[in-house]
């Protein structure tokens, strides 16, 4: 068991106080996901979308990584083989916990993307205030978030890692959003052992060899210990 790909979703950050997307009422912080997470929504009402993500960023500044983020960062530090942590999350809790071999496939809340020059920059202040791009000075920054209908980041690198993976671990994701929801099938087809750690069985649960239910802050540290024991 040398090469590992880990996929994380909103469930890993739930115990840090960040809301998941598909909660009991099917709303994300009071909004339908389509009303704030599509290019059409941004074209229709940029201020609403900016205020929404500005609020998420402010909330993130108050949140801390939990034991699940810390356990993955420990795995990253200790694992001798290849590892890629692919996160669908736009929060920065993995890196704040110390993870390095990390790819944000849906972008990052802490970055802006300029619609004029296509450069990325760290967000300082609220984007609803339409600050200028630090590169070209145009006041045309949008959140650097991959919205529905847009191409996720890093798909070539992810595909390559999945091809070589001996183990695929999916943590805290409902398996409702492609292409991430299909990674388990790619990994399994190429012979990886597939494990799911989630509060409840995900939509793709039957594709996993092993599906464990519980809170990420319990399951992930225990699973990382198991893995590191195999290396010892
Ligand atoms: P979802 O909200 O769809 O799913 C979160 C999953 O985490 C659910 O299956 C929960 O049961 C599980 N969960 C909740 N609390 C947990 C805990 N404490 N421990 C373990 N599991 C827990 O979130 P994602 O699957 O991440 O995309 O959503 C995928 C994408 O849909 C997001 O990246 C986002 C959204 O639209 C974009 O913004 C582009």
pLDDT at position 26, please? Answer: 59
pLDDT at position 76, please? Answer: 98
Residues 205, 88: Cα–Cα separation, whole Å:
18
Tell the residue nearest (CA) to atom 8 of ligand 1: 174
Residues 89, 153: Cα–Cα separation, whole Å:
12
How many angstroms does the Cα of residue 171 sit away from the middle of ligand 1?
9
Does the pLDDT of residue 166 top 90, yes or no? yes
Q: Which of 14-28, 32-46, 164-178 has the lowest mean pLDDT?
A: 14-28
Residues 23, 5: Cα–Cα separation, whole Å:
26
Q: Which of 6, 7, 8, 11 to mutate to test the pocket of ligand 1 (most atoms within 8 A of CB)?
A: 11
With a CB cutoff of 8 Å and minimum separation 6, the contacts of 125 are 131
Res. 27 pLDDT band, cuts 50 70 90: low
Does the pLDDT of residue 33 top 90, yes or no? no
Q: Yes or no: say if 194 and 178 are a contact pair by the CB < 8 Å rule.
A: no
215 in contact with ligand 1, CB cutoff 6 A:
yes
Tell the residue nearest (CA) to atom 23 of ligand 1: 10
Q: Which of 88, 103, 182, 222 to mutate to test the pocket of ligand 1 (most atoms within 8 A of CB)?
A: 88
Mean pLDDT confidence for 62-75: 98
Q: Which atom of ligand 1 is nearest to the CA of 148?
A: 39
88 in contact with ligand 1, CB cutoff 6 A:
yes
**Torsions phi, psi for 165 (to 5 deg):** -70, 135
Tell the residue nearest (CA) to atom 25 of ligand 1: 173
Helix (H, G, I), strand (E, B) or coil at 93: helix
What token pair was written down for 75? 């795995």
pLDDT at position 25, please? Answer: 59
Does the pLDDT of residue 41 top 80, yes or no? yes
pLDDT at position 6, please? Answer: 98
Mean pLDDT confidence for 188-203: 96
Angle (CA) 178-183-184 rounded to 5° is: 120
Q: Which atom of ligand 1 is nearest to the CA of 202?
A: 9
* Residues noted as catalytic: 106
Mean pLDDT confidence for 35-49: 93
Q: What is the percent of the chain with per-residue pLDDT over 70, rounded to a whole number?
A: 97
Does the pLDDT of residue 174 top 70, yes or no? yes
Tell the residue nearest (CA) to atom 35 of ligand 1: 21
11 in contact with ligand 1, CB cutoff 6 A:
yes
pTM: 0.96
Mean pLDDT confidence for 3-20: 95
Q: Yes or no: say if 123 and 90 are a contact pair by the CB < 8 Å rule.
A: no
């Amino acid at each position: 068991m040398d090469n590992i790909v880990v996929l994380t979703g909103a469930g890993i950050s739930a115990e840090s106080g960040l809301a998941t997307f598909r909660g009991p009422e099917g709303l994300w912080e009071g909004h339908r996901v389509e009303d704030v997470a599509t290019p059409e929504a941004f074209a229709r009402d940029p201020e609403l979308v900016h205020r929404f993500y500005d609020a998420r960023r402010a909330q993130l500044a108050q949140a801390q990584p939990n034991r699940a983020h810390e356990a993955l960062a420990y795995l990253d530090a200790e694992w001798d083989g290849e590892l890629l942590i692919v996160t669908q999350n736009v929060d920065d809790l993995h890196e704040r916990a110390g993870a390095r071999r990390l790819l944000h496939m849906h972008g990052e809340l802490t970055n802006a993307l300029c619609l004029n020059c296509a450069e990325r920059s760290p967000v300082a202040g609220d984007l609803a205030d339409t600050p200028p791009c630090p590169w070209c000075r145009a006041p045309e920054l949008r959140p650097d978030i991959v919205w529905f209908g847009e191409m996720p980041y890093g798909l070539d690198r992810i595909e390559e890692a999945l091809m070589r993976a001996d183990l695929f671990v999916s943590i805290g994701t409902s398996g409702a959003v492609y292409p991430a929801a299909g990674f388990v099938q790619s990994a399994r087809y190429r012979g990886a052992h597939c494990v799911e750690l989630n509060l409840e069985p995900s939509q793709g649960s039957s594709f996993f060899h092993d599906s464990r239910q519980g809170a990420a802050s319990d399951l992930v540290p225990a699973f990382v210990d198991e893995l590191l024991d195999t290396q010892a």
